[in-house]
């Protein structure tokens, strides 16, 4: 979906992007994380063909962003961290305005407005003026404007800024729904908690450099990490697990085991049944999901140890 090679961008006296290379897969929700000033917004603006790098290449669905920016604009939706809506327009008028700006044919605009409003669950607000909307509904309208032309890629810069917890959760559900409908999302934020619910991979950027790009959720057919802990030491734990053909031990002792597992839920249930049958006192057994906050802090800590300031 997105392929970036050796991208460099410079503000006067500041190298904002430093030899950035990355790939984002189709259908992924990728979190772009890092501290303020790390280069997140600059990277998104370059992908959206709004800023021009000094060197490097960006391709979206095989289209060269630098050579064909207008063609790329048809493929993407972009929501800036600071956006403006016309408060005296209705929701419907706002969507019509966005549809016309994206050159949607006049006879197709009404359908595009209705369809997009339904996707964003704001069809009951079409006659309401923007100024009367809550912060959460305003955010939904802004996203609706960004996707009214049916882009395959949605870029969002700090989309949950200023939202209350309920609105943030609703936004998470919306992003997962858009992903289920075939859209790829790249979401920038420095607040990791808001990304945890929906992101499938994480890119860490610091000082304009990509320092990590890792999956957060296993894709279909991929191995998952499973953690087992016991109430007391059990010499049988590791031996029993090692006998299972779908298990690859990562680390273990008599009261703990972390293993890679590739199989279905029924097979995983069978493994737990074997442990219990052999009187292994299991009190924890389940997928060891990656915590975004911990993964981020561990990576940054290792980086600081390797390159002390």
Query: For the segment 155-200, what is each residue's pLDDT rounded down to a tens digit?
Result: 999 998 878 888 888 889 999 999 999 999 999 987 777 787 888 8
Query: Does pTM top 0.85 for this prediction?
Result: no
Average pLDDT over residues 30-49: 94
Phi first, then psi, for residue 161 (nearest 5°) are -60, 125
How far is Cα 257 from Cα 264, in angstroms, rounded to an integer?
Answer: 19
pLDDT per residue as tens digits for the range 230-270: 999 998 999 999 999 999 998 898 899 999 898 888 999 99
Using 50, 70 and 90 to split pLDDT, how confident is the model at 104?
Answer: very high
Instruction: Give tens-digit pLDDT for 2-13.
Output: 999 999 999 998
Crossing angle (nearest 10°) for helices 165-180 and 135-147 = 20
Q: How far apart are CA 211 and CA 205, in angstroms?
A: 6
DSSP state of 114: H
In angstroms, rounded to a whole number, what is the distance separating the alpha carbons of residues 65 and 155?
14
Q: How far apart are CA 92 and CA 99, in angstroms?
A: 10
Contact yes or no for 191/31 (Cβ under 8 A): no
Residue where the block lists tokens 């994480």: 202
Tokens of 77: 């939706």
Residue in the block written with tokens 């289920």: 180
pLDDT at 302 over 80: no
Tell me the backbone φ, ψ of residue 26, rounded to 5 degrees: -60, 135
Alpha carbons 267 and 292: distance in angstroms, whole number: 28
Among the listed residues 2, 60, 65, the one whose alpha carbon sits nearest the alpha carbon of residue 30: 2
- Count how many residues are written for the chain: 309
Using the structure block, give the residue that is written with the tokens 């992101």.
199
The answer to which of 67-76, 109-118, 162-171 has the lowest mean pLDDT is 162-171
User: Is there a contact between 21 and 4 (Cβ–Cβ < 8 Å)?
Assistant: yes
Between strands 76-79 and 153-157, the pairing is: parallel
What pLDDT is recorded for position 292? 67
Contact 195, 292 (CB under 8 A): yes
Whether 5 and 195 have beta carbons less than 8 Å apart is answered as: no
Q: CA 36, 155, 101, 42 torsion: positive or negative? A: positive
């Amino acid at each position: 979906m997105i392929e970036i090679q050796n991208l460099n961008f410079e503000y006067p006296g500041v190298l904002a992007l430093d030899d950035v290379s990355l790939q984002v897969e189709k259908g992924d929700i990728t979190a772009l994380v890092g501290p303020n000033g790390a280069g997140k917004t600059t990277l998104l603006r370059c992908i959206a063909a709004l800023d021009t790098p000094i060197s490097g290449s960006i391709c979206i669905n095989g289209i060269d962003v630098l050579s064909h920016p207008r063609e790329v604009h048809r493929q993407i939706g972009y929501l800036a961290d600071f956006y403006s809506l016309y408060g005296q327009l209705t929701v419907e008028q706002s969507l019509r305005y966005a549809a016309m700006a994206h050159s949607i044919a006049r006879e197709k605009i009404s359908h595009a407005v209705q369809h997009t409003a339904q996707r964003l669950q704001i069809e009951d607000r079409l006659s309401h003026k923007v100024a009367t909307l809550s912060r959460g509904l305003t955010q939904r309208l802004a996203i609706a404007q960004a996707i009214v032309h049916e882009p395959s890629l949605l870029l969002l810069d700090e989309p949950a800024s200023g939202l209350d917890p309920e609105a943030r959760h609703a936004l998470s559900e919306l992003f997962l729904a858009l992903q289920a409908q075939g859209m790829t999302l790249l979401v920038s934020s420095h607040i990791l908690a808001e990304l945890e619910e929906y992101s499938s991979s994480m890119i860490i950027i610091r000082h304009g450099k990509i320092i990590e790009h890792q999956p957060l959720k296993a894709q279909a057919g991929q191995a998952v990490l499973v953690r087992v802990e016991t109430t007391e030491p059990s010499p049988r734990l590791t031996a029993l697990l090692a006998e299972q053909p779908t298990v690859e031990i990562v680390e273990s002792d008599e009261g703990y085991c972390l293993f890679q597992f590739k199989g279905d839920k029924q097979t995983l249930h069978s493994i737990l049944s074997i442990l219990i049958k052999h009187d292994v006192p299991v009190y924890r057994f389940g997928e060891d999901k990656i915590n975004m906050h911990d993964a981020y802090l561990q990576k940054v800590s290792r980086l600081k140890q390797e390159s002390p300031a």
